[in-house]
Each structure stands twice: as C-alpha cells, then as structure tokens.
Structure 1
C-alpha cells in the first residue's frame, strides 16, 4: 500500500518557485529522510502532504492513505487528517499544562468535543497516555508542566501524543534541529522504534545528513523545489552532499564515511529509482 503519493505538485510564492513539479511515493511502513539546504522546499512539501496548504495549478495531486488530500489546487474535504500526525521543531506543547494532559490531547479527534474542551478523559485514556510516555522514555515527567522539560523531552512528549492519536503516518519537520546531539539521538531512536514496532510510516525532514544515513534506509533530497535524489541513504556520497548543500556542507556533512545503518526490518519500495539531477 502506498502511504503517500505526490504527483506533479508545484507551488509559487511571488517570484519564488518553492515546489517545482514534485513527484514522490512513500510506501506504508517506510521511514524516509527528506534532506536539503534551507529554502530547498522541504517544509513546503511537508505542509502540502500534511494538508496544511494547497498547491498551484490543475496538475498537482496529493493522495494520503488512498484518499485524495488535494487536487487541482484545492484541499479536499474528508482527507485523513486524524490518521496523519505532524510534529515540528517548535514542539507545539501547551506550556502551562501538564505533560500528561498534552499527550491526552491526542484523543481530541475521537472523543466528544465537550469532553475535550473540559479536559475530561477516562481512566483508560489516561493509562494509554501514560503508556505512550513510557514508550518514549519519559514516564516520570507526566505530572510536570511541559514548559519545565528540556527540548528533547518536549519533542518526545509530542511523539507520545501521536501514539495516543493512533496516527498511521507521522510527518516530522526538522524535529531535531534545535536539539543537542544526545537529545537528537534519543528522538531519532524513538522514531525508529515506533516505525519498526508499530509500522507507522515516517517522513522526517532532517538538516543533519548523518542522521538520515544512520536511521533511514531511503533518502529524498531537494534543491530549488525539485527532487534531485531519491534512493538508498547509504549511496549518498560526501561529494554529492557537498554539491547539494554548497557552503553549508562543512557544518551539515561530517567528513567521515557514511555510518552503518541501524538494523531494521526490510521494506519494499515501488517508488522511483535513485536519480541524480544536480545541475
């Protein structure tokens, strides 16, 4: 089953072409990295896949979990919003509320609106939220205000919320760019674990290439709103990445050889073969 299908998607902001006829497919159960320099179109593509924005023109089309999310420049009603979770660099937790309450918010799409508004959750719902916090490694902070957590803990709480939401697709827009290396590894470990154990499809935008190499079997690279590489992460050469990132490559690409990928269950992809289109 194809989890995400994007075909001929374009988007322009004034004179800037943010997306230029983008076509990709992500299979169900894949964990795919999306890389590229700032301004390459990663976040714009993520917003369109998440149903937060519509593309331009008649040709563009996004299908998520076999439901048309947008076509002909229009967002469609009934798109599978509850089955798709999005986490951002900013964590998006309510600082004055407890961590547990923030995680419980993942239930809002499935409980009556009045219960959600009043914050009335059942014992089983609270147990589910507590279990989600245990799975991401922070069960002891459930009663704390979320504003007291470190950045890495807040991001793991945001991931726990997606587990409560029972999302089938998790889209992460640079979830580790503001974290120190230790916290970043913990967050990526959590994402890799839920991908393997829960078969959650993950598309993660990464600014740091080494994490793509280590955690994702497949990487999609963007430049100037176009897909310039789609293939195995282990085939990303430092020479290619230096050309992709330009002057920023010294900070974003380590000089060592690519790291061995973490063990993961095999996947089959019927998507496009590796392409090299840098020019």
Structure 2
C-alpha cells in the first residue's frame, strides 16, 4: 500500500491551468522533494493531497494510505485526516499562545472535545510534547510565546506538533523558503531525521534544488502544472535544470552551488535509474 497515489489530477483557476493531468505515487517511508519554479503547481498539488482543494476533472483521484481522499472533485468526508500533517512556510502557530500549547494542539484529534476546547491536557500528553520539542532541538523555549521565536524555531515547533499528532505522512510546503541558510539546514535535518528514524513519509516542496540533492533521494519536478521529471535527485545537475526550466532554472539554484554534487542522503539513489524521463512539450 502506497502512502500517496495521485491519478490524472487537473485543476484550473480561471484561465490558469494549475495542474494538468498529474499522476504520481509516493511509497511509505520515502522522503521526496517537490521542486519547480514559481507557478509550477507545487503548492496546488500539496493542497489537493491535504484535502484543502478539490480537482475539477471527473477522472482525478487521490488515495492516501489506502483510503480514498478525493475522487472526481469530491472529498471523502470519512478520511482520517489526522494521518496527514501539513506544515507551511508561514508556520501556522498561534503567536499569543506558548510554544508548549501550540505543540499540545497536535493531540486534539485524539482527545475528548471538551478537553481540547478547555485546553486541558494530561501528564502523559505534556511529557510527549516536551519530548517532541527536545527531538527538534528547542526544549528550552517551551514556555515562551510562539511569536517570540525566530523563524527557524517556529518551523521546528510546527514539526514538533506533527510528532505529537503521530501523523504517518508529513507534507511540507516550502518550509525553509523564508529562513536563513543555517536555520534551513536545521529544519531539513529534523525532517530527514524523522523520516529515517520514525519511518514517516515526507514530501517537501523546495525552491532550491541543492536541498533536494542533499536530503531527498528522489525528486519530482513540476512545470506548468505537469510532472516533467521523477527520479533520483542526484541527476538534477544545473545543466539538466536549465534544460527543464530554461531561464527560470536560476530560481532553483543557490549561488555557487556545486552542480550535480552527490548528497549524503541521496547516495543510494546514484545507482538508480530515473522513474520517468524528461518530458518536453
């Protein structure tokens, strides 16, 4: 049973074709990068997988962990959404609440409604939240208001909330695009750790391909709402990106980034052949 299966998914906003018959599969336990220049359809695809958008074609279908998520533009109301966690570029923490309370919110899907409404959490739940903050490297900030944290700390607090939620799939929509390089590496280190140590499936949308090369064995590249490459991240040399995206490839390459450098997390992928060849219109 795959973690995520997307079949023939299309979405149009006005005259803009945001997704064009997208099909892909992510297996359980994978860490997959989703890359593309601005407007390529990455965020739209993520919102569909998370159940935040519906497709506009009758043939489009998404299955998550063996359960139907949506089919023909209709969401499945019985989908267990707690199995999927999404973190965004904007962190989505409640700034006036403490870091600990924000992380404890991850328990809400498994606690009685009255306790969630009143913010009543038991000792075991609090211990689990403390352990999650320790896991992401910020145990000392548990009592601070979330609004006082740096961007990187807020993103790690959001990941701690995911650990408390016990999600089986973590989808991250450009989680490091607003962070400095040092904070970005810390966040990616945490995502890589929970993938390799906990077996959580991670799909991370990235705007810089260097992080895909370094952390994700597999990359799915999108352009104009379609998948144009699906294969080993190590194949994504700067020259290949230029072939895929033309001048827009400059958005995806960090200054002075070595072209095609093998990444530690992707070393095993060097021996794999691409899952799909370059598709040029």
- TM (normalized to structure 1)? 0.95
Contact 2:221 2:229 in 1 (8 A): yes
Is 1:105 aligned to residue 105 of structure 2? yes
Deviation at 1:192, TM superposition (A): 0.1
Closer, same or farther in 2 for the Cα pair 1:3/1:265, shift >3 Å?
farther
SS of match in other structure, 1:21:
strand
Is 1:31 aligned to residue 31 of structure 2? yes
CA distance in 1, matches of 2:99, 2:76: 33
Instruction: Point out where structure 1 has 5 or more consecutive residues left out of the alignment.
Output: none
CA distance in 2, matches of 1:264, 1:72: 36
CA distance in 2, matches of 1:240, 1:278: 12
Deviation at 1:245, TM superposition (A): 3.8
- TM (normalized to structure 2)? 0.94
What is the RMSD computed on CA atoms of the aligned residues? 1.8
Moved over 4 A (4+): 263-267
Is 1:257 aligned to residue 259 of structure 2? yes
CA distance in 2, matches of 1:57, 1:274: 24
CA distance in 1, matches of 2:58, 2:248: 36
Q: Which residue of 2 aligns with 1:153?
A: 153
Q: Which residue of 2 aligns with 1:85?
A: 85
Within-5 A mapping of 1:3-18: 3-18=3-18
Q: What is the aligned length?
A: 277
Deviation at 1:275, TM superposition (A): 2.0
Q: Which residue of 2 aligns with 1:238?
A: 238
Q: Which residue of 2 aligns with 1:20?
A: 20
Deviation at 1:92, TM superposition (A): 0.3
Contact 2:107 2:164 in 1 (8 A): yes
Deviation at 1:171, TM superposition (A): 0.3
SS of match in other structure, 1:126:
helix
CA distance in 1, matches of 2:267, 2:194: 12
Q: Which residue of 2 aligns with 1:181?
A: 181
SS of match in other structure, 1:143:
coil
Deviation at 1:273, TM superposition (A): 1.7
Once the two structures are overlaid, the 10-residue window that deviates more, 248-257 or 10-19, is: 248-257
Is 1:95 aligned to residue 95 of structure 2? yes
CA distance in 1, matches of 2:251, 2:57: 37
Deviation at 1:265, TM superposition (A): 10
